[in-house]
Structure formats: structure tokens, C-alpha cells
Chains A and B, each alone.
Chain A
Amino acid sequence: MDLRRGAGLACLAMGVLLPAALMGGAVAQESPPRVIDVRIENREVVAPQEAIRITQGDVIELHWSSDEAVALHLHGYDIELRVGPEEPAAMTIEAFAAGRFPITGHGWGGSGGSGGSHDALTYLEVYPE
């Protein structure tokens, strides 16, 4: 009997707490995403100099600027983005998975070809909460 009553209470608590938690989550998501500026010069990321470090669950915007046209590719999350000298571009990342994800550049010079190096320009490091 006691056990059943306990389970009932737990269900009740879940019923109250779960929507609250979900709403809390929804509210948190509406706050403006953190912006990180990333600058490419001479085919290297000059700022930030270290890897981009964020926490799992964060929503961030990477604002890219480059002195040369390039197609960027964030591996793992698999987001692609073209950026050039006259066209800065932004990448929104909702960090649902932790890990260390390389960002590579392809098609330097805007030719749309496959040219590029497999070396990572920088890394996105998503740490667990």
C-alpha cells in the first residue's frame, strides 16, 4: 500500500515538475545566444587563438570574417557555411553533443572547388555540463 502511495506521489511530483522544467528550458533558450567572433587571415584562424570552448546545452553564434572566400565545415554537427572578405557570416550552434569537433576550410578563393587542406582551422570543444 505504502509503495503504491509513494509511486502516486512521485507521479504527481513529476506531473508538476516536468512541465516546469520544460518551461524553464524554453525560457532559457529564448535568451540571446552568446556571440563569439572568429577571424581568418592568411588561411589561419588568428582569433580566438585557442580552441572555441563552450558547455553542452549552450546556444552560441560564431561570427566569421575572412580575408579570403572559403567554405567552412564544422564536423560532427556538420554545419557548412561560406564566408568571404565582403561577406561575413554567422553559424548558430546548439551544443547538444559534447566532444571536440574540428572546423576545416575548403574551396579557398571562392572557386567552389574541392581545394583545401584536411588540417583543422580550429576546434569547437563542447564540455559536458
Chain B
Amino acid sequence: MTSAGGRFGRRAAALAAATLAFLHGAGPAQAHAFGPRYDLPLPLDLYLAGAGAAVALSFAIMALVFRARPAEGGLPPIDLLRLAPVRFLSHPLATGGLKAVSLGLFVLVLAAGLFGNQDTARNFAPTFVWIIWWVGLAYIAALAGNPWPALNPWSIAFAGFERLLRSSGARSRPGFGLAYPSWLGVWPAVALFGLFAWFELIAETGIVPRVLAAAILIYSALTWFAMAAFGREVWLRHGEAFSLAFGVFGRFAPIGEPERASPDGGPAPWPLRPYAGALIVDRPCSFSMTVFVLLMLATVTFDGFKETPLWGDLLQGIALAPWFHPLIRQLHDLGFDFQAALETVMLALFPLMFLLVYLGFSWLTKQASGSRRPVTEIAGLFVFSLVPIAIAYHLAHYLSYLLIAGQFIIPLASDPFGLGWNLFGTAGYGVDITVVGAKFVWYTAVVAIVVGHVFAVGVAHLVALRVFETAGLALRSQLPFLALMVAYTMASLWILSQPIVGGPSLSTLRAPSGDLTLAPFEFREMCVEMTSQDELHYDFEADRPIDFDIHYHDGLTLHFPVRHPGIAAQAGRFVSEQDQSYCLMWLNRSLMEASLTYRVIGP
């Protein structure tokens, strides 16, 4: 009995403590995963079992699917509106309520971000936006059905504005009534999603409530302006990045989007279809849409890859390479955070690499099938078949994050502004770090990855059967894609088998004192967390003039409270102006090696 009681007590204490740790903002500094992540890497035997199963099942599908052509059209979709509870849910009162809640949350996020406590962990906005909305909604969109068209606050607000104008007797549609140029495709969404990925994965300011709210306001203004210019529906289909992103995930889901209401005013059918059904297309999507899907897949993979030790070694290798030092020096002089700059370049290269590899495999498919379609058309036919692999990886990668870090929304709901309120009595809720077992996460991850792979191979095969002239050609066309999918699935499994490490620090010194040599253009830095008015003493002596500064990072840029180019020795005292991670940096800009002795007495 005492044992059980003790265990409960310990657990309760640990839960309360976990909350405290989060509230103190402790933990590896990461842009996206700002909540705690305690995932264990996937064990080697599970990794190998998953990989083996993916390969074996690929061949099983090849053998099975090509036995017989599927009946034309497949299963007819079921109309969900035939079910009474669904009819009730789609009643204007219910959908209206849902829209009001969504709009309310949108306003709450903005208000909390702009006027609430600016401590990330005590403000509703960052946790709601990054964990509940972005990660959580993607789960719902992929596994159940895409709820975004019903919840999109930009669309709801603009539609309300249109209705208001109509009732006041204005023109039937607000705005400029411009025709959307067809050559623009979904390129605006590609650009906006790229910016969003940068904001999410690289700009560390994305978790600062006020910056997040400002970014949402800018995006809102842009969205409403574009809706006024081209029409709401047009912009939702071409430019609103999240409508397209959740739409891509939603193609996997069994619940489709309600079709447009019939002209006689009868209720529109709401289709229920098999999983992945909407990924099987018989007409190629546009090249811009192909790029959009690949951009999504690449950023999802990049997010995981940048937390692996290999990524850290890669960045470190680049940063320590002699050819890179002059570039770093230049970036530093221009006031750029070179790590953020380097990661930005990598984030831009990653989707380009995905695109090149994918187009290469599309070309191989064209060769293998002898098809006369252009490569971009083949690419547009098969790009959706890769989506299940990305969804499976997303589910596996974020499962414990969503279930553990997502719990912070419970206390935050009671105190969204971080002002000490307790609206629902949940402000003192402690996060339960045992809510999801490590084994459960591992097995779910491997099963999800293997199932995702099976869906991907199956979808690609069914598409091939629809678009290639004979079953033989279809079969041959699938060999390149099969290889690509196996590689993609292996990469996903490999990332899951790696320990999650925080963003690497380049050329960081940890020892408070020591001797070092700096090669030409080499730099070293020591970063110290300081609160406002903390004091720091330093002295150093070098055998030739070097650059010394104290800086801190703000997104892509650097700020220099102290800057001394070309000095050989200095002793000084530094008092911090704000809560920041300040870095002392020594940079050798001569063409000779420099030796340096330094000492830092921290706060």
C-alpha cells in the first residue's frame, strides 16, 4: 500500500514539476518544438522490422494489385447526410456555432498574443497555434476529414463581410473583381507556405506571442486583400496556404468535403469514401500544385531532420570548414545570425532537392512506361501518392509531442493571457509525462509508417492502372516509384530512430576559461543566458589583433551591445539590458593563426 501511495505522490510531484520546468522556459532552445520533447529513439530492431515489412509489402502489392483491373469507378461514395446525427451536425445552427467558436479562438489568439504575458509558456497563443492548431488539426484532417473549410477564420470573416455588404444593398460582391491569372496557379500558396515553414522552423521569434500575433495580422491583411481582389473562393483555392495544406492532408481522409449545394436548394451530398480514395487521380495536377505538395513533404521531413545529430554534425562541419569562414565573417559583419542564415539556405535547398529527385524519378517512370506524356504531367499524376508517407511520418513524429506538450493548453485555457486567472479551474493542471508509453509510441510509429507506405504504393499502382494503356506498361512504370517510396519510407524511419537533439551550437566554447588557437577567419563563441541587469566579467589576451564582440540573436539578425574590431587584449564588465542569450565572440580576420587566452566570469 505504501508503495502505491508513494508512487502516486512521486508522480504528482513530478507532474507539477514538469509544468514548472516548462513555465521557466527550460529545455533545449528550438524554434518549433518549444514544448518539452522526451521521445526515445526508435530501437534498431523495430527500425529494421519496419523497413523489412515496407519492402516485403511493396512486392506483395505489386503481385496482388496487378492481378485484376479494379471495377470502373470503384465503390460509390456514401452520402453522410443520410445519417441522422450528421444531418443534425450540418444544421445551420450547428455549423454557425462552430464558426463562431473558431472566430472567437482567432480573436483570442490575437488578443493574447498582443496584450497577454509575453512569456511563451504562459501565453495561450504559441501553444494553441503551433501544437493544437498546426499539429493537431493536421491529424484530424488526415485521419477523419479536413475541417479547415468549416473553421477557416479568414474565410468566415470575409464571408460575413460580404453578407453585410449585400444586406446593406451594396454591389453583389465586394472588392475589385480582378480575374485571377491562370498562369499564377497555386504559386502564391507555394510562396506563403515557404515563408510559413521558415517562420515555424527557423525564426526563433515564432514562439514570441507578440511576434506570432503580428505575423498572423500581416497574413490576415494579405489574405483579405487578395480575397477582395480576386474573390474569396478563388483565393482559397490558389493562395490561402493553409486551405491547400490541410486540403492535401484531407485527401487521405475518409470524410470528404461537402459538395456544393444543388441549385434547387436541396442539401448538398457529403461523401464518405475509402481512405486515400481522393489521392487516386486520373488527371494530373498543375506543376505549381506538384511543387506545393513536394514543399509540404520536404518541410515535414526537414523538421525531423534538423533535430538529428547528423544535422548538427553537418552544420558544424560546414561552419568549421575553412572555405566557409570568410562567408561567416561577412554575414557577421552585416549583422546576420549565420546559423539562422545557414539553416535558411538549407531549408530552401531541401524542397529543391525533393523536386529534382522527384522529377528525376518521374522521368524514369516515363522511360519505363514508354508514355508520351511530358515529365511534369507524370509528376502531377503521382505526386499525391507520396502524401500517405508524409502523413504517417507526421503522425509518428508528433504523437507524444501532441499528447504531452499539447496538455499545456489545459492550464492555458484557464489563463490565456498569463495574468493569473483561473477561468475554468484548470490553471493549476500539471502535465502528465506518463500519459503515453514509450512502447505504445514506438509500435504506433512503425505501424503508421508501414501502413502509410502500403497506401502510397497502392495509390501509385491504381493511378498507373488508370492512366497507362496496358497493365504491363503500368507495372513497368511503377518500378522507379517503388524505389523512391522505399527510400522515402526508410528516411522517415531513420529520422525516428535518431535521438532528438536541440539545435546545435556552432563553435561553442563551454569552459569559462582556456587557451585556443584561431585559424584565419575562424571564430569561437561562448553563449550565456542572462536576465536583465545580470553582470558578466571577461578578459582575454591574444598574440595579434582580433575582433571581439558581445551579441545576441534575433531571428535572422544580430545585435551588438559590445563591438571591438582589431584589439589584442581587453578586460571588461558587461551588464545585460534584457533577458537574452548573449554570446561573446572572438573572430580572427587576419591571414595568420592567432592564439588566445580568455576568462569569463558569468552571472
- Answer whether A102 and B28 are a contact pair too, CB < 8 Å, given A42-B510, A96-B10: yes
Chain B interface: which size bin? 35 or more
Complex interface residues of chain B between 1 and 42 (CB less than 8 A to chain A): 1-4, 7, 10-11, 14, 17-18, 20-21, 26-29, 36, 38-41
11 contacts between A and B (CB under 8 A): A29-B3, A42-B511, A75-B27, A76-B433, A98-B439, A99-B438, A100-B500, A102-B28, A111-B602, A118-B502, A128-B437
Docked pose: A37 CA to B185 CA in angstroms: 62
Docked pose: A73 CA to B572 CA in angstroms: 30
> Which of the residues A26, A29, A96, A127 comes within 8 Å of B438, measured between beta carbons?
A127
Complex interface residues of chain A between 61 and 87 (CB less than 8 A to chain B): 68, 73, 75-79
> Which of the residues B38, B438, B536 comes within 8 Å of A128, measured between beta carbons?
B438
Docked pose: A43 CA to B509 CA in angstroms: 9
Docked pose: A56 CA to B148 CA in angstroms: 40
Q: Are B434 and A96 in contact (CB under 8 A)?
A: yes
Chain A CB within 8 A of B530 CB: yes
Size of interface on A: residues with Cβ below 8 Å to B: 42
Residues 488-514 of chain B, each 1 if its beta carbon lies under 8 Å from chain A, else 0: 000000000001111001001011101
CB-defined contacts of A33 to chain B, threshold 8 Å: none
CB-defined contacts of A127 to chain B, threshold 8 Å: 40, 438
CB distance from A92 to the nearest CB of B (A): 11
- Answer whether A96 and B529 are a contact pair too, CB < 8 Å, given A42-B514, A119-B508: no
**Chain A residue nearest to B602 in the complex (CB):** A115
Q: Are A96 and B26 in contact (CB under 8 A)?
A: no
Nearest 4 pairs between A and B by C-beta? Answer: A78-B17, A99-B38, A113-B603, A98-B438
CB-defined contacts of B437 to chain A, threshold 8 Å: 98, 128
Known: A113-B531, A127-B438. 13 other contacts (CB 8 A): A44-B510, A76-B36, A76-B38, A96-B7, A96-B434, A100-B499, A101-B38, A102-B502, A113-B602, A117-B527, A118-B27, A120-B28, A123-B499
Q: Are A22 and B530 in contact (CB under 8 A)?
A: no
**Chain B residue nearest to A117 in the complex (CB):** B527
Chain B CB within 8 A of A116 CB: yes
Q: Are A99 and B433 in contact (CB under 8 A)?
A: yes
> Which of the residues A42, A97, A98, A114 comes within 8 Å of B534, measured between beta carbons?
A114
Docked pose: A12 CA to B26 CA in angstroms: 49
Most chain B CB atoms below 10 A, which of A51, A73, A108, A126: A108
Complex interface residues of chain B between 196 and 239 (CB less than 8 A to chain A): none
Complex interface residues of chain B between 262 and 313 (CB less than 8 A to chain A): none
A residues with CB within 8 A of B: 22, 25-26, 29, 42-44, 51, 56, 68, 73, 75-79, 94, 96-102, 104, 106, 108-109, 111, 113-120, 123, 125-128
CB distance from A18 to the nearest CB of B (A): 11
Chain A CB within 8 A of B528 CB: yes
Q: Are A115 and B530 in contact (CB under 8 A)?
A: yes
Docked pose: A122 CA to B427 CA in angstroms: 32
CB distance from A86 to the nearest CB of B (A): 17
> Which of the residues A42, A99, A111 comes within 8 Å of B39, measured between beta carbons?
A99
Q: Are A78 and B528 in contact (CB under 8 A)?
A: no
Chain A CB within 8 A of B89 CB: no
Q: Are B529 and A117 in contact (CB under 8 A)?
A: yes
- Answer whether A100 and B39 are a contact pair too, CB < 8 Å, given A119-B502, A120-B28, A120-B502: yes
Q: Are B1 and A22 in contact (CB under 8 A)?
A: yes
Docked pose: A111 CA to B28 CA in angstroms: 22
Q: Are B438 and A119 in contact (CB under 8 A)?
A: no
CB-defined contacts of B367 to chain A, threshold 8 Å: none
- Answer whether A118 and B29 are a contact pair too, CB < 8 Å, given A68-B512, A96-B11, A99-B433: yes
Docked pose: A85 CA to B339 CA in angstroms: 35
- Answer whether A114 and B531 are a contact pair too, CB < 8 Å, given A78-B17, A96-B11: yes
Q: Are B438 and A43 in contact (CB under 8 A)?
A: no
Docked pose: A45 CA to B28 CA in angstroms: 17
Docked pose: A77 CA to B80 CA in angstroms: 47
- Answer whether A119 and B505 are a contact pair too, CB < 8 Å, given A42-B510, A98-B437, A99-B433: yes
Q: Are B531 and A104 in contact (CB under 8 A)?
A: no
Q: Are A43 and B439 in contact (CB under 8 A)?
A: no
**Chain B residue nearest to A99 in the complex (CB):** B38
CB-defined contacts of B95 to chain A, threshold 8 Å: none
Chain A CB within 8 A of B570 CB: no
Q: Are A26 and B38 in contact (CB under 8 A)?
A: no
Q: Are A109 and B3 in contact (CB under 8 A)?
A: no
- Answer whether A75 and B530 are a contact pair too, CB < 8 Å, given A96-B7, A97-B434: no
CB-defined contacts of A77 to chain B, threshold 8 Å: 14, 17-18
CB-defined contacts of A125 to chain B, threshold 8 Å: 40
CB-defined contacts of B603 to chain A, threshold 8 Å: 111, 113-115
Docked pose: A96 CA to B438 CA in angstroms: 12
Docked pose: A42 CA to B166 CA in angstroms: 71
Q: Are A114 and B27 in contact (CB under 8 A)?
A: no
Chain A CB within 8 A of B601 CB: yes
CB distance from A128 to the nearest CB of B (A): 5
CB-defined contacts of A108 to chain B, threshold 8 Å: 512, 602
Residues 524-541 of chain B, each 1 if its beta carbon lies under 8 Å from chain A, else 0: 000111110010100000
Q: Are B28 and A76 in contact (CB under 8 A)?
A: no
Q: Are B530 and A114 in contact (CB under 8 A)?
A: yes
**Chain B residue nearest to A123 in the complex (CB):** B499
CB distance from B486 to the nearest CB of A (A): 28
Docked pose: A123 CA to B508 CA in angstroms: 19
Docked pose: A77 CA to B17 CA in angstroms: 7
**Chain A residue nearest to B527 in the complex (CB):** A117
**Chain A residue nearest to B39 in the complex (CB):** A100
Docked pose: A96 CA to B18 CA in angstroms: 14
Chain A CB within 8 A of B581 CB: yes
Most chain B CB atoms below 10 A, which of A56, A102, A127: A102
Q: Are A78 and B529 in contact (CB under 8 A)?
A: no
**Chain A residue nearest to B40 in the complex (CB):** A100
CB-defined contacts of A98 to chain B, threshold 8 Å: 40, 437-439
CB distance from A4 to the nearest CB of B (A): 29
Q: Are A96 and B534 in contact (CB under 8 A)?
A: no
Most chain A CB atoms below 10 A, which of B10, B501, B603: B603
> Which of the residues A22, A96, A111 comes within 8 Å of B14, measured between beta carbons?
A96
CB distance from B515 to the nearest CB of A (A): 12
CB-defined contacts of A44 to chain B, threshold 8 Å: 510-511
**Chain B residue nearest to A118 in the complex (CB):** B29
